[in-house]
């Protein structure tokens, strides 16, 4: 079990929210793992329908949405119902999308139970599902009615999942806080203060989203590592042992740090520092030359592109990021080659 202190008390927050509302029906959406590890931590729940889906990214599809919409229909939910999403980013993104589209929209609460969902997916209102192998291809922007973050859930999270979420924490440090980055570099894994890291990350993401909710400018800095990372993640999506989101983003951050260096926005020392740190946390993989074409094709589908121009967020010194940086096929090939050689 991970050693993690409590932050907010999930039961107190949930009960006080429910006491202030009058919902006709309540659904709690879980996957098989959060049913086992997280649902039992919710106490004195009002009457509700439990909706259970299989766990994993491959469930984040329209076909799972159909099951959820069917469940809501069978249980006679109307627009005054509430959906409580208890799980990681898959449950939050999919459950929120189902709730906001069912009968043109019912309320939903996110109770994120993975580190990734706590520091990233639950903030900023991006909802949706994957489509034909493309990540988050169909979706909407809509903020949850409430997000309850309690690090008690992280105790049962597999270490690989904790590391996956940690990639977003690294990202938040790199794009927004150079002092905290220096501190992070010297902190041993077992000495990580998760409640404090979670709060730090949430504050950074919230501040960015508040300044630019519609991702017209500053919010694009949160995509650091994600142009390459998403394309790599999509490429491995159908394989029997897919890369976790954060593992793909970690590779993306190394590649995009290389591009920041190539465009003379960070020094070689900074690039080495970032690369060595990320490689000390995540297992290296080798990206075969034969995978390059598919990864390029995936990058061309990126929602952040403008027409044929590929745009990425890059670092402009550690602790600052710039967005809408144009990159080309040669840059991408070089960045992946750099990663392979590290």
Binding site for ligand NAD (CB under 6 A): 31, 33-34, 37-38, 55-57, 60, 87-91, 93, 113-114, 116-117, 120-121, 124, 126, 135-136, 153, 156-157, 161, 164, 245
The distance of closest approach from Cβ of residue 330 to ligand NAD in the complex, given in angstroms and rounded to an integer, is 28
The nearer residue to ligand NAD, 161 or 331, going by C-beta atoms, is: 161
The distance of closest approach from Cβ of residue 334 to ligand NAD in the complex, given in angstroms and rounded to an integer, is 26
The nearer residue to ligand NAD, 93 or 331, going by C-beta atoms, is: 93
The distance of closest approach from Cβ of residue 319 to ligand NAD in the complex, given in angstroms and rounded to an integer, is 21
Measure the CA–CA gap between 50 and 39, rounded to whole angstroms.
10
The nearer residue to ligand NAD, 127 or 266, going by C-beta atoms, is: 127
The nearer residue to ligand NAD, 55 or 316, going by C-beta atoms, is: 55
Q: Which of 139, 135, 136 is nearest to 237 (CA)?
A: 135
Cβ(102)–Cβ(135) under 8 Å? no
Which structure tokens are listed for 4? 């993690």
Measure the CA–CA gap between 296 and 298, rounded to whole angstroms.
5
The nearer residue to ligand NAD, 157 or 174, going by C-beta atoms, is: 157
Rounded to the nearest 10°, the torsion over CA 231, 234, 239, 245 is: 90
The distance of closest approach from Cβ of residue 225 to ligand NAD in the complex, given in angstroms and rounded to an integer, is 11
Which structure tokens are listed for 330? 């040669």
Cβ-Cβ contacts under 8 Å for 250 (sequence gap 6 or more): 167, 170, 225, 229, 278, 281, 282
b/e sequence 284-309, b meaning 16+ C-beta within 10 Å: eeebeeeebeebeebbeebebeeeee
The distance of closest approach from Cβ of residue 76 to ligand NAD in the complex, given in angstroms and rounded to an integer, is 28
The nearer residue to ligand NAD, 26 or 116, going by C-beta atoms, is: 116
The nearer residue to ligand NAD, 60 or 261, going by C-beta atoms, is: 60
The nearer residue to ligand NAD, 164 or 265, going by C-beta atoms, is: 164
The distance of closest approach from Cβ of residue 63 to ligand NAD in the complex, given in angstroms and rounded to an integer, is 15
The distance of closest approach from Cβ of residue 335 to ligand NAD in the complex, given in angstroms and rounded to an integer, is 21
Beta 310-315 vs 321-327: how paired, if at all?
antiparallel
The nearer residue to ligand NAD, 93 or 270, going by C-beta atoms, is: 93
The distance of closest approach from Cβ of residue 91 to ligand NAD in the complex, given in angstroms and rounded to an integer, is 6
Cβ neighbours, 10 Å, residue 265: 18
The distance of closest approach from Cβ of residue 80 to ligand NAD in the complex, given in angstroms and rounded to an integer, is 25
């Amino acid at each position: 079990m991970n050693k993690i202190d409590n932050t907010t008390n999930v039961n107190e927050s949930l009960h006080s929210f429910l006491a202030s509302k009058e919902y006709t029906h309540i659904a709690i959406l879980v996957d098989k793992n959060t049913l086992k590890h997280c649902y039992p931590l919710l106490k004195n729940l009002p009457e509700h329908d439990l909706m259970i889906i299989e766990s994993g990214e491959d469930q984040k599809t329209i076909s799972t949405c159909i099951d959820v919409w069917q469940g809501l229909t069978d249980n006679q939910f109307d627009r005054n119902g509430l959906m409580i999403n208890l799980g990681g980013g898959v449950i939050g993104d999919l459950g929120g999308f189902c709730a906001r589209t069912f009968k043109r929209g019912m309320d939903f609460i996110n109770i994120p139970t993975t580190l990734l969902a706590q520091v990233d997916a639950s903030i900023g209102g991006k909802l949706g599902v994957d489509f034909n192998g493309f990540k988050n291809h169909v979706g909407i922007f809509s903020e949850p009615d409430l997000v309850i973050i309690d690090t008690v859930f992280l105790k049962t999270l597999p270490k690989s999942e904790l590391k996956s979420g940690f990639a977003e924490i690294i990202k938040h440090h790199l794009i927004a806080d150079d002092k905290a980055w220096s501190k992070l570099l010297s902190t041993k894994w077992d000495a990580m203060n998760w409640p404090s890291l979670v709060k730090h990350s949430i504050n950074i993401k919230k501040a960015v989203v508040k300044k630019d909710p519609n991702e017209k400018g500053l919010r694009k800095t949160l995509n650091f590592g994600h142009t390459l990372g998403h394309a790599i993640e999509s490429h491995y999506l159908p394989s029997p042992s897919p890369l976790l989101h954060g593992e793909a983003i970690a590779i993306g951050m190394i590649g995009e740090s290389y591009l920041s260096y190539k465009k003379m926005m960070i020094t070689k020392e900074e690039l080495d520092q970032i690369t060595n740190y990320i490689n000390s946390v995540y297992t290296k993989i080798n990206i075969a030359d034969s995978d390059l074409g598919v990864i390029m094709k995936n990058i061309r589908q990126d929602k952040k592109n403008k027409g044929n121009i590929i745009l990425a967020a890059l670092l402009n010194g550690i602790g600052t990021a710039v967005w809408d940086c144009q990159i080309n096929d040669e840059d991408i090939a070089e960045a992946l080659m750099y990663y392979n050689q590290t």
